[in-house]
Chains A and B, each alone.
Chain A
Amino acid sequence: MNNQSNTSTAPPLSRTSALLLKFLGSMNLAITLLVALSIAAIIGTVLQQNQPYTDYIIKFGPFWFEVFKQIGLYDVYSSAWFLFILFFLVLSTSTCIYRNAPNMLHEMREYRQNIQLKTLENYLNTNSWLLTQPIEDIQHVVQKILPHNGYSARLKDDGSYVLISGMKGGASRLGYILTHLAIVLICIGGLMDGNAILKAREMLGQVVPETKNIAASDVPQISRLGINNQSFRGSVSIPEGRQTDVLFLNYKDGYLVQELPFSVEVKDFRIEHYESGQPKSFESDLVVYDDRLNQPLEKTISVNHPLIYDGYSIYQASFSDGGSKLEMLAWPLMGVNKQPQKVTTKVGDEFQMNISNEPWILESSNFRLFNINPSENPDKQFENSGPSVQFKMRNKMGEAKEYLNYMVPVERDGAYYYLSGVRASPAEEFRYLYLPVDDKGGLGRFMAYLQALGDEQLLQKIVAEQNFMGSNLPTKETAELNEAMVNVVGLFLKNGMSGVLEQVEKNAPADKLEEVSGLYVRVLQQMLGAVYVDVLIKEGVDVSNVGVDEEKAEFFDAAAAAIGAMTRYGSPVYFQLSSFVHHQASGLQIAKAPGKNLVYPGCAMLILGVFLMFYAPQQRLWAWIEQTDEGVKLVLAGHAIRNKLDFSKQFKKIQAQFERVLNG
């Protein structure tokens, strides 16, 4: 990419190839390619790459999705046109090297000893002296001062004159060659490690990505890559105690299975935390089994400390649940006199349940040992809310809501609650249900209360006992009223407070709406309170003297709020995580990148070349010594292609040295 040398030393070529060479090696092409590469690169950062195809369809609609897919915008960096640009960049840079390197290498050793006096006198940096010293002395001075300033010098004695040519910074030419060669090496190495070859194989129909979610062993041969595949980068999640000899490469809207010539076992996976709760390290104890090894290779890897084995690099990339065993209590949220059912399942498994004669499927998707959240406590930045389990409950229609239940009660304003988050789709945030914890630290009282509210017989008994409206009403009307009160509770249980108010709006005359709804709320409050007291008495709490203390009143408020909110909960049971066996999976990334054997030396050459080019500029000095009638004529002249301002300063300095030595 250097246009200063027109005298090519390349062998003569035909006119067309000469033109082609000129085009390929032209600066304009090079700059165009650099710009094109930049623009392509920008596109790839603006549009998120390699997302699931459905995301793109949602974003662009079916028409533009297809258009963008065709021009490869979802994977710009391995699209044909991007590779085409890179290919031309390599070609253009190689041509530049081919055209200029011979000249440059020649220049590095060329002292320009055929230069004419006129040329020297015409240079910007030139000075001449008329001296009385003998010519040998002047020659000696020149030959000392030039090396002293870093110039290597060559002498030419023509007979009529002596020319000493000095040069320094020849390495800057080497810098040019190194940098451009480096670009070629890096690009070729990068292409080797990219998925261009895979793409070509896919185009030839040798490889088809698998899109279904099936076990690795069931993936057909056409979606498998053998151990002879030289470059790839894939990932695999291995539960503790298990091993794998394949990994998965995400490819387009599916994946490919890459086979390995060895198998890797994850013996143990560990997360360490800082005192503040943030993760400090992720580590996996690996064992590599290979027939070529005398004994299995054991090594602990962590982030920033991969294992390199047989050209394969094994990295700690992520972690997930590896099928933790969960034991949960399923508390029925409907019906009377029901006991919690014990459920044993595993993360990743589906568990069939029959609840109130309806089939349900419990799909546990994740277990977390720690939940580090920002703390509201000003002294602590983070807080650990303990283990949690995430799952879906799927009904017979196939619809499911997702839940996030915490194992340990969390504190809020001095009281403790079991938290259960619910959402209808992954796009939503979890909305939390707060179930109050009783004196024994469990859910017993809350569940007893919930069931009591659903027990019509009990409600009727309580209504009769309480005689809220006074005893002066006729029996028939009392019965009707009592019936209505029981119904309000049922309504509340079914549709929450808003359900009760809706009912009022439907039945009450408009002018008395406020009065009637006030009455309903009061009646409901009284009923809820009376049932609560009943539950407390059954529990054995003495309420005769002091009534209900503050803590139990708070419990009552929280329980009523939770029951009111439960209408939107969507699951017929509440799962309380009672015990677990934590089982993690380590996410490994395994890569083979033979291209780095070109890329890394290329990088070293690039750094060396850039520094040589900028900080070892080529500079030339000549001293022409000629005997004339008036004395010895000395012409000192200098020339530099780059950093001319600096060179002028340097020339002045050298000129002054001569001045001091010869005329001082």
Chain B
Amino acid sequence: MNSTHAALQHELDQQSFWKGLSSFDWLWAIIVVLGTGYAYTRYASLMDGYEKGILVSTGASLIALGWNWKEIRALSLVVFLLSIFAISRYVHGLADAETDFFLRFLVSSQSAIMWMSALYVLATVTYFIAFFARSEFSGKVASAMTWSATTMGLVGLMVRWRETYLVGLDVGHIPVSNLYEVFILFSIITALLYLFYERRYQTRVLGGFVLLVISAAVAFLLWYAFDRDAAGIQPLVPALQSYWMKIHVPANFIGYGAFALAAMVAVAYFVRENAEHKASGGIAMTLPALDILDDLMYKSIALGFAFFTLATILGALWAAEAWGGYWSWDPKETWALIVWLNYAAWLHMRLTKGWRGKPMAAWAIVGLFVTLFAFLGVNMFLSGLHSYGEL
């Protein structure tokens, strides 16, 4: 009897969440609290109540994220150090980006974003090499590249944030204000979502598929930057000068990223399904089993849907302040609703009708095109209030 009780007590102690936190976990929390506290004391006078709230909740989220996903800590610290380094290299103003060696070739926002672009494309290729050659080493290299690309992308955004203030103190703003900037955000968020599931499912074979969509985004980004000269920092139009931008846009892109991830998993689903159907074996059979892919697809869409709902509602609240009504049937709003209805229907079919497999995978791919239209097509073909990224 005593042995059972002792074993029970031991079991209960071991599995407790708070007791399960290691000293590294606490160290992480302390670092984030100190960083947030420093930012708060230094800049509180420049922020309104909402912005303070956003800062504090960002800190809290970062602690929670780091506790549940250890890699995020290293990522955050490297991004932090590189960004601080880059900012410290700006001494005389923006012109330093052309003259300072480190800025010019590594960490000015333009350079960092170019590094990000190159690394994502290389990672895509490497993931496919790993997939076809069944090489675990190449897979690890590809993962490392994706992490590095994400690091550089985040550094690019952080440094760009600073650069907006170097353009002019009244110009400074979070760099999620135009199509160029949100494409970077989209690449980063999609990559992070993928990396999370890569660790969770311990498989790298999906990497090539998911990074295809990121490579496409990078291709667009480069075309947009070079052909349309879109990389310049522009001051915000009055309608965008609001704390809402800091939460509406990132929430939206978690949604878009998750939908993109789901669609690419659906592509993998078809590849595997096709191989099973032919009973051919081969490389396609190294993909995760169909029910795992199906589950991943569902999880991704559920996550995307939750955040897209949040983002659309935040957008409506913002619209109520900026445009005088929470809903104006503006093309962007309407297409957000269409995307939402589409995934709502998808979820209903899966959760209550129990649909699985090919039709749902096909629908997830169609969903990406609907999302793409809401994201890009509206800006290209339709005019409206929400025209912050004209092509």
Interface residues of A (CB under 8 A from B): 1-4, 27, 30-31, 34-35, 37-38, 41-42, 44-46, 48-49, 77, 133-134, 137, 140-141, 144-145, 148-149, 190, 193, 233, 274-276, 278-282, 302-306, 313, 315, 317, 589, 591, 593, 596, 599-600, 603, 606-607, 610-611, 614-615, 642-643, 645-646, 657, 660-662, 664
Q: Which residue of the partner chain, among A3, A279, A603, A664, contacts B313 with CB atoms under 8 Å?
A: A603
B238 within 8 A of A: yes
A38, B7: Cβ atoms closer than 8 Å: no
Q: Which residue of the partner chain, among A49, A600, A607, A657, contacts B309 with CB atoms under 8 Å?
A: A607
Interface pairs (11), CB distance under 8 Å: A45-B335, A140-B8, A148-B16, A278-B234, A278-B237, A306-B321, A313-B324, A603-B317, A610-B310, A662-B4, A662-B7
Complex formed: what's the CA distance from A41 to B340 in Å?
12
Ranked 7 nearest A-B pairs via Cβ: A303-B238, A315-B324, A589-B324, A45-B331, A614-B302, A603-B313, A661-B7
B349 within 8 A of A: yes
Complex formed: what's the CA distance from A115 to B309 in Å?
38
Complex formed: what's the CA distance from A48 to B378 in Å?
12
Q: Shortest beta-carbon distance, B387 to chain A, in Å?
A: 13
B334, A280: Cβ atoms closer than 8 Å: no
Q: Which residue of the partner chain, among A4, A145, A190, contacts B327 with CB atoms under 8 Å?
A: A190
B329, A44: Cβ atoms closer than 8 Å: yes
| A317-B8 contact given A41-B334, A41-B337, A645-B295, CB 8 Å threshold | no
Q: Which residue of the partner chain, among B11, B335, B348, contacts A31 with CB atoms under 8 Å?
A: B348
Interface residues of B (CB under 8 A from A): 1, 4-5, 7-8, 11-12, 15-16, 168, 170-171, 234-235, 237-239, 241-242, 291-292, 295, 302-303, 305-306, 309-310, 313, 316-317, 320-327, 329, 331, 334-335, 337-338, 341-342, 344-345, 348-349, 351-353, 378, 382-383
Q: Shortest beta-carbon distance, B197 to chain A, in Å?
A: 13
Chain A residues within 8 Å of B321, by CB: 304-306
Complex formed: what's the CA distance from A568 to B377 in Å?
42
Q: Shortest beta-carbon distance, B167 to chain A, in Å?
A: 9
Q: Shortest beta-carbon distance, A615 to chain B, in Å?
A: 8
| A137-B1 contact given A280-B235, A303-B239, A661-B8, CB 8 Å threshold | yes
8 additional A-B residue pairs with CB within 8 Å, beyond A34-B344, A137-B1, A280-B238:
A41-B335, A45-B331, A233-B325, A274-B235, A304-B241, A315-B324, A596-B326, A662-B4
Q: Shortest beta-carbon distance, B64 to chain A, in Å?
A: 13
Chain B residues within 8 Å of A30, by CB: 348
A3, B8: Cβ atoms closer than 8 Å: no
B353, A661: Cβ atoms closer than 8 Å: no
B8, A610: Cβ atoms closer than 8 Å: no
| A606-B344 contact given A41-B334, A137-B1, A148-B15, CB 8 Å threshold | no
B12, A45: Cβ atoms closer than 8 Å: no
Complex formed: what's the CA distance from A134 to B324 in Å?
70
B11, A657: Cβ atoms closer than 8 Å: yes
Q: Which residue of the partner chain, among B238, B303, B326, contacts A302 with CB atoms under 8 Å?
A: B238
B324, A610: Cβ atoms closer than 8 Å: no
B11, A145: Cβ atoms closer than 8 Å: yes
Closest to A46 in B: B382
Complex formed: what's the CA distance from A275 to B166 in Å?
13
A642, B329: Cβ atoms closer than 8 Å: no
Chain B residues within 8 Å of A77, by CB: 329
Q: Shortest beta-carbon distance, B237 to chain A, in Å?
A: 7
Closest to A642 in B: B351
A3, B237: Cβ atoms closer than 8 Å: no
A141, B8: Cβ atoms closer than 8 Å: yes
Q: Which residue of the partner chain, among B316, B324, B341, contacts A233 with CB atoms under 8 Å?
A: B324
B170, A274: Cβ atoms closer than 8 Å: yes
Chain B residues within 8 Å of A302, by CB: 238
Complex formed: what's the CA distance from A348 to B12 in Å?
82
Closest to B322 in A: A304
B351, A661: Cβ atoms closer than 8 Å: no
Complex formed: what's the CA distance from A275 to B291 in Å?
58
Complex formed: what's the CA distance from A600 to B241 in Å?
23
B352, A144: Cβ atoms closer than 8 Å: no
Chain A residues within 8 Å of B11, by CB: 145, 148, 657, 660-661
Complex formed: what's the CA distance from A141 to B10 in Å?
12
A27, B8: Cβ atoms closer than 8 Å: no
Complex formed: what's the CA distance from A27 to B355 in Å?
13
| A41-B322 contact given A35-B345, A148-B15, A614-B302, CB 8 Å threshold | no
Chain A residues within 8 Å of B352, by CB: 1-4, 27
Most buried by B among A30, A31, A276, A282: A31
Closest to A276 in B: B235
Q: Shortest beta-carbon distance, B174 to chain A, in Å?
A: 15
Complex formed: what's the CA distance from A140 to B8 in Å?
10
Chain B residues within 8 Å of A134, by CB: 1
Most buried by B among A141, A614, A615, A642: A614
| A593-B326 contact given A134-B1, A274-B171, CB 8 Å threshold | yes
B1, A303: Cβ atoms closer than 8 Å: no
Chain B residues within 8 Å of A599, by CB: 326
Chain A residues within 8 Å of B16, by CB: 148
Closest to A278 in B: B235
Q: Which residue of the partner chain, among B171, B313, B353, contacts A607 with CB atoms under 8 Å?
A: B313
Q: Shortest beta-carbon distance, B325 to chain A, in Å?
A: 6
Chain A residues within 8 Å of B242, by CB: 304
A133, B1: Cβ atoms closer than 8 Å: yes
Closest to A663 in B: B7
B238, A279: Cβ atoms closer than 8 Å: yes
Chain A residues within 8 Å of B338, by CB: 38, 41-42
Q: Shortest beta-carbon distance, B241 to chain A, in Å?
A: 6
Most buried by A among B309, B316, B326: B326
Q: Which residue of the partner chain, among A306, A591, A611, A662, contacts B306 with CB atoms under 8 Å?
A: A611
Closest to A589 in B: B324
Chain B residues within 8 Å of A275, by CB: 168
B7, A610: Cβ atoms closer than 8 Å: no
Complex formed: what's the CA distance from A48 to B348 in Å?
32
| A27-B7 contact given A306-B321, A591-B325, A606-B309, CB 8 Å threshold | no
